[in-house]
């Protein structure tokens, strides 16, 4: 694998655009979950910044949060194609309105695996919110209920997204280009 120093970071989505989009998604979720008590499940680690911003914009008092962790990249820029659950939920979600919060849907393999896993636990409803997606790389069909941005086929970092655990802290989203 090439070192990240061989790549240039080019700004793709700035923090103002992100804030505007998070507010838009939050109002859609607020509208759809009135009088319900949704459980938001963040997919670690990439979604933690998005989720933190999103929950503070929701005008819903009764939300709960939990986290799972799925591994698919193994510190490489290309997906290994293998998906494993590193951290599962500790509480039952049977009968709950579950909303999964994901950073990026790329091939779709990770989120399909996770949604199938959660579905087996019999939630009342199961929806997906993704900050970004790269449709050109999709290998399995994924239906995204709340979507922020559609991206070109570039590797992106920032706003929670990493390369080898670095760059998550950047407030904007960058593409890595040679
Ligand atoms: P998928 O299984 O859809 O191919 O990949 C999903 C996971 O791969 C994401 O949750 C994310 O962790 C990682 N991933 C996919 N594309 C990118 C990308 O462009 N940048 C970063 N940082 N991670 C990505």
Q: What is the pLDDT of residue 73?
A: 59
Whether the upstream peptide bond of residue 45 has omega within 30° of 0, thus cis, is: yes
Q: What is the pLDDT of residue 69?
A: 97
Residue 166 covered by a domain: no
Q: What is the pLDDT of residue 82?
A: 82
Pocket test for ligand 1, best of 49, 161, 163, 177 (most atoms within 8 A of CB): 161
**Residue 30 in 3-state DSSP?**
helix
DSSP-derived secondary structure letter, 114 = H
pLDDT in tens, the chain (178 residues): 334 567 899 999 999 999 999 999 999 999 999 999 999 999 999 999 999 999 999 999 899 999 999 987 544 555 556 889 999 998 999 999 999 999 999 999 999 999 999 999 999 999 999 999 999 999 999 999 999 999 999 999 999 999 999 999 999 999 998 7
Q: What is the pLDDT of residue 126?
A: 98
Structure tokens at 52: 């933190």
Residue 41 covered by a domain: yes
CATH of the domain at 124: 3.40.50.2020
Ligand 1 centroid distance, CA of 79 (Å): 8
What are the φ/ψ torsions at residue 110 (nearest 5 degrees)? -65, -50
What does the alpha-carbon distance between residue 65 and residue 44 come to, in Å, rounded to a whole number? Answer: 12
Residue 117 covered by a domain: yes
Long-range contacts of 167-174, Cβ-Cβ distance < 8 Å, separation of 24 or more: 167/9, 168/45, 168/46, 168/49, 171/15, 171/18, 172/11, 172/12, 172/13, 172/14, 172/15, 172/18, 173/11, 173/12, 173/13, 173/18, 173/132, 173/149, 174/9, 174/10, 174/11, 174/12
Q: What is the pLDDT of residue 178?
A: 79
Residue 164 covered by a domain: no
Residue 4 covered by a domain: no
Q: Is 159 in the pocket of ligand 1 (CB under 6 A)?
A: no
Q: Could you confirm whether 106 is annotated as catalytic?
A: yes
If one counts the domains in the chain, the total is: 1
Structure tokens at 69: 């962790």
Ligand 1 centroid distance, CA of 45 (Å): 11
Q: Is 72 in the pocket of ligand 1 (CB under 6 A)?
A: yes
Q: What is the pLDDT of residue 44?
A: 97
Q: What is the pLDDT of residue 37?
A: 96
CA 28 distance to own-chain centroid: 16
Residue 116 covered by a domain: yes
Q: Is 156 in the pocket of ligand 1 (CB under 6 A)?
A: yes
Residue 82 covered by a domain: yes
Q: Is 132 in the pocket of ligand 1 (CB under 6 A)?
A: no
Residue 169 covered by a domain: no
Q: Which range of residues forms the domain containing residue 32?
A: 15-153
Ligand 1 centroid distance, CA of 107 (Å): 8
Q: What is the pLDDT of residue 4?
A: 52
Q: What is the pLDDT of residue 162?
A: 96
């Amino acid at each position: 694998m090439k070192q990240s120093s061989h790549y240039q970071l080019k700004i793709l989505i700035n923090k103002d655009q992100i804030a505007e989009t998070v507010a838009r998604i939050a109002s859609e979720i607020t509208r759809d979950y009135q009088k319900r008590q949704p459980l938001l499940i963040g997919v670690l680690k990439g979604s933690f910044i998005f989720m933190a911003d999103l929950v503070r914009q929701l005008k819903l008092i009764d939300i709960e949060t939990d986290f799972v962790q799925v591994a698919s990249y193994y510190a490489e820029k290309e997906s290994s194609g293998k998906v494993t659950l590193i951290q599962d939920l500790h509480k039952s979600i049977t009968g709950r309105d579950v909303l999964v919060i994901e950073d990026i849907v790329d091939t779709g393999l990770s989120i399909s695996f996770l949604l199938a896993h959660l579905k087996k636990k019999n939630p009342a409803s199961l929806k997906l919110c993704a900050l970004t997606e790269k449709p050109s790389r999709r290998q399995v069909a994924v239906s995204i209920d709340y979507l922020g941005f559609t991206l070109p086929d570039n590797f992106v970092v920032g706003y929670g997204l990493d390369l080898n655990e670095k760059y998550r802290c950047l407030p904007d989203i960058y593409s890595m280009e040679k």
